A and B are shown apart, each in its own frame.
Chain A
Amino acid sequence: MLSRLRDILPWLAVVILAAWGFWWAGYDRKPDVVDGRTEITWYVMISPLRDLYEADVKEFERLNPHIKVRIIWVPGSELNAKLKILAAAGQLPDLFFTGDVWLRYLLPFKRDITDFVLRDAEEMGLDDYFPEILAAMQLDGRYYIVTESMNLSLLYFNRRLFAEAGVPEPDETWTWDDYVRAGQALTKPGTPGNPGVWGSSRVEGWWGEWIIYVRQSGGDIFTADGQRCLLDTPEAINGLRFYLEKSTKHGISAPAGFEPINGFVNERVAMIVGGHVNYWLNYNQKADLDWDVQLLPAGPVTRKGGELAMAGYSVSKTSRHPEEAWQLAKFLTRPEAVARIVARGSLSVRRSVAEAQMRDARPGDRPPNLAAAYDQFQYGQPIPRHSHYIEILLQIVQPEIDRMLLGEFGPEEAGRRAAEAVNAFLATFHAQQ
C-alpha cells in the first residue's frame, strides 16, 4: 500500500504543479471590475511625461472613486502594431493615444465621440481650441479624438553657432536661398578631436522633411481624393531635388548615412527644418543649448507646407466603458493638464493656455521666439489622411527616396518610381475602401 503511494506521489506532485502552472499562465489579469471599481485601460506612449501622467491618473481616481485606471505603456515604435494586435485579439484598450495621421487608418477602432463632445462642450471649453486643431479632431464632421498636444513644422536653429559664425539669425522673410546661404556659412569641416558642424540636418526616414519641400514647391503626395500619387509631377520632383541637393550640391547637410545622431542636441548641426515639438523637452534638458525657432523658409511657390499635426486620445469602438473612458480623456486634456505639458516645453493646443504661455514668458525661456511658433499655424498643412498613408510611405515610397539619397538615381527617377509603385498599390487595395 505504502509503496503504491510512493509511486503515485511524484505524479501527484506533477499534476498539481502543472495545474497551478496552467492557472497562472491563463488567468484573466484584466478583469473589468476590481474591488468594486470599474477598470478601464489607458494605452499611452512611453514619454518623458510619464510622471505627469501617473500623477494625473492618481488625481483622476481620487475624483472618481468608482473608476480604476490601468495604464499600458508602449514604446513609440510599437504603438500601432500593438494596438492592432490587441484589436485582433478583441482586447482593445478603452482609451488609447493616437494622432490625427492615423485617424482614417484606425477609424474602425475608434468610437464616434461626437455625442460626448457636444454634450460636454462647455465643460471642455471646446471653443478654447484653435480652429485648425478642432478641424483635425474631426473626420467628415464627426469627432474621433480629443487633442492633448500638437506638432508644427518649424525652423530650429542654434543661436550660439550663428553668433560664432557671424551669420544673421533667420527671420520671417527667409526663403530657401537664404536658408542655403546661411547653411553654407555655418558648415565647418571637422578636425581631429573636434568633429565638424553641418549647416543643417537632413532628416532621413519617412517622416516629414522632404514632404515639406514637395509641398512648398506646389506639389503634393496624393490628389485631393487620395486616388492617385502625385510624386511624379515636376513640382514634387523639384522638392525632392532640393532635399537631395542639400548634401550633394549645396553642401549644407551630411551625406546619406553620415547624419550625426542627435546632431542638434550635440551642436553638430546648426539648423533643422521640420523637427518635432516633442523634442523641446529634450532640448531644454541641455542647459547650455541656446536654441530658437522661426517660420519655415518659403519655397519657390509658397511658404505653406509644414506639418500641422496633433495627438490625443480616442475611445475605442468596442469599449465596454465608453463613459468612463471619456471622463478620463476630458481630464487628461483639461486646461491645467495642457498648461503643465506646455510648461515643460511645448506648444499649446488651447488658445487660453497659449496666451498665458506667451504672457508669462521670461527671458531665458526657450525658445525665445514663441510668437513665431504660433505664427506658423497659418502655414501648416495636415498630413494626407489616407487610410494606408503610413504603409505607403514606409513600405513603398521611402525605399525609393533612400536610393535617391544614396546616389542610385536622380529625383526624377525617384519620383517616377515611387508614383508608379504607389499607384499600383492603390489599384489593388482600393477595393477594400
Chain B
Amino acid sequence: MNIRRADQFTFWLFAGPALAGFVAFSLWPMLYSLWLSFCQYEVISPPRFIGLRNYIHLFYYDAAFWPSVKVTLMFTLVQVPLSIIAALAFALLLNQPVRARGFWRAIYFLPSILPQAAYAVIFGYIFQGDGGLLNRLLALVGIEGQPWTMSSDWALPVLIAMSLWAFGYPMVIFLAGLQNVPRELHEAAHIDGAGAGARFRHITLPLLSPVMFFNLIMGVIAALKVFDLAYAFSVTQNMPPGGPARATLFYGLNLYQQAFGFFHMGLASAMAWLLFLFVMVVTVINFRFSRRWVHYEN
C-alpha cells in the first residue's frame, strides 16, 4: 500500500511537467484549433462561429487547396519510395566490411542534419535557370539548360531531388536493423548454397521489415508535413511562395500563407485538421497493410 502511494507520488512529480506540457501544448491547442476551424477568425476581430463554411470553401471554392493537395501527394508518392530505396541500398553498402566504415557512414549521414534553409540556398544556386551551375555545366556539353526552378514542370522534381539528399536518417535506421540480422542465419544459408540475391530476399528483407515499416511511416508523415524546405526555396528564388503556377505550393506552405500571410486563421485551422485526419488515416492504413508484409520476431 505504501509503495503504491509512493509510486503515485513519484509518478506525478516526475511525469507531471511532461503531462502538463501535453495538456498545454498539445491537447488544448488541438481542441481549440478544431473549434477555430468552424469559425471565421481574421485576427483583428474575435472568432465568429460559421459552421462548416471553411471546409466547404476549401473543397469547392478555394483556388489553391486542391493544387496544394496534388503537389504534396505527388511529392510524397515519389520522394518516400526513392528515399527508402536509396537509404536501403546505401545501408547495405555501408554494412559491408570496409576500412573506416564509421567515417563513410558519417559522410552519408551529414546532409540530413543540416538546416533546410541552407540546402535551399545551395541547391537554389545550382538549379537557377539563368546562370545557375547546372545550366552552365550543361552548356559545356552543348545541352540547352532549363529554367529549373522557375519552370512549373521542373520545380517540383528539383525539390524532390533536394530532399533526397538527406536520406541519412532512414539509412541509419536500416543499418541498425541490419545489425539485428544474425550472422548465423546468413552463414547457414550460405552453406546451404543460397546465393546473395536469395539470401537478401528471404532472410534480410523479412527481418528488415519492421524497420522498413518504421521508415515508411515516418517518411510519409514527414513528407506530408513539408514546410521548411518549400518556404526557404521560395525565399531564395525570390518567388512568391508556391513557385510558378503553384508548382511547389505544398500543403504546409499553403497553410502558412493562409495563416500568417493572409490571416485567414479559421480557414488555416480547418486545413490543419484535414491534414491531421489524413495523416491518421494513412498511418492506420499502413498499419493494417503491415500485417501482410511485416514479420516481427516472436
Residues of A within 8 A of B (CB): 77, 80-81, 84-85, 87-88, 108-109, 204-206, 256-261, 388, 391, 394-396, 398-399, 402-403, 406, 408, 421, 424-425, 427-428, 432
- Residues of B18-72 at the interface with A, using a CB-CB cut-off of 8 Å, are 40, 42-44, 53, 57, 61-64, 67
Specify which of A88, A109, A257, A427 is in contact with B150 (CB 8 Å cutoff): A257
Residue B138 CB within 8 A of the other chain: no
Considering residues B44, B261, B262, which has the most beta carbons from chain A within 10 angstroms of its beta carbon?
Answer: B262
The smallest beta-carbon distance between A11 and chain B, in angstroms, is 15
CB pair A406 B240 closer than 8 Å: no
* Chain B, residue nearest A418 (CB): B63
In B116-165, the 8 Å CB interface with A consists of: 129-131, 146-147, 150-152
B263 contacts chain A at the CB level, 8 A cutoff: yes
**Which chain B residue lies CB-closest to A420?**
B63
- Which residues of chain A are within 8 angstroms of B64 by Cβ–Cβ distance? 395-396, 399
Q: Are A406 and B61 in contact (CB-based, < 8 A)? A: no
Please give, as numbers and ranges, the residues of chain B lying within 8 Å of A204 by CB-CB distance: 244
CB distance from B48 to the nearest CB of A (A): 9
A257 touches B129 (CB 8 A): yes
Q: Which of A87, A109, A395 contacts B63 (CB 8 A)?
A: A395
Report the bound CA distance from A88 to B261 in whole Å: 12
Q: Is the CB of B61 within 8 A of A399?
A: no
- The answer for the CA separation of A427 and B43 in the assembled complex, in Å, is 21
Q: What residues of A have a CB within 8 angstroms of the CB of B263 in the complex?
A: 84, 88
* B contacts, CB < 8 Å to A: 40, 42-44, 53, 57, 61-64, 67, 129-131, 146-147, 150-152, 235, 238-240, 242, 244-246, 257, 260-263
Taking a contact as CB atoms under 8 Å apart, the answer to whether B57 and A428 are in contact is yes
Contact of B63 with A108 in the complex, beta carbons under 8 Å = no
Report the bound CA distance from A396 to B147 in whole Å: 23
A260 touches B152 (CB 8 A): no
Closest B residue to A84 using CB positions: B263
Q: Tell whether A260 pairs with B240 under 8 Å between CB atoms, given A88-B43, A88-B263.
A: no
Contact A402 B147 (CB under 8 A): no
Docked CA distance A391–B62 (Å): 12
- Enumerate chain B residues within 8 angstroms of A396, measured Cβ to Cβ: 63-64
| Distance to closest chain B CB from A268 (angstroms) | 9
**Which of A81, A258, A388, A403 is within 8 Å of B152, CB to CB?**
A403
18 further A-B contacts with Cβ under 8 Å, apart from A394-B240, A399-B63, A402-B245, are A77-B235, A77-B238, A80-B261, A84-B43, A84-B263, A87-B44, A205-B240, A257-B129, A257-B146, A257-B244, A258-B129, A258-B147, A260-B130, A261-B131, A399-B245, A408-B245, A424-B63, A432-B42
Give the distance in Å from the alpha carbon of A184 to the alpha carbon of B146 in the complex. Answer: 24
| Docked CA distance A260–B240 (Å) | 18
Min CB distance A16 to B, Å, is: 19
Q: Provide the bound-state CA to CA distance between A403 and B243, in Å.
A: 12
A-chain residues with CB within 8 Å of residue B63 when the two chains form the complex: 395-396, 399, 421, 424-425
